[in-house]
Amino acid sequence: MSLLILPYIGLLWVPLYDFREPTLFGFPFFYWYQIAWVPLTIVLIAIAYRSVRDDE
């Protein structure tokens, strides 16, 4: 369950990722950093779900 706090921490402090560089496919870092958290969060939720499901 502590894995689920990582996206919260990663996106909480905007000054940590409020930059233009490096760009990825023309997107400033600010945008692709947030978009990168979407699939990462999906993976973390899946891991958390499997760990809870296996405990039952």
Query: What's the average model confidence in pLDDT over 14-25?
Result: 89
Token reading at 33 = 């950093």
Eight-state DSSP code of residue 25:
T
Q: What is the pLDDT of residues 47-56, one digit of tens each?
A: 999 988 876 6
Kindly report the CA angle at 36 between 25 and 4, in degrees rounded to 5? 175
Of 39, 7, 45, 37, residue with least CA distance to 29: 37
The contacts of residue 40 (CB under 8 Å, 6+ apart) are 7
Eight-state DSSP code of residue 28:
-
Eight-state DSSP code of residue 15:
G
Q: What is the pLDDT of residues 29-40, one digit of tens each?
A: 999 999 999 999
pTM: 0.76
What integer pLDDT is reported at residue 52 of this predicted model? 85
What integer pLDDT is reported at residue 53 of this predicted model? 81
27 pLDDT above the threshold of 80: yes
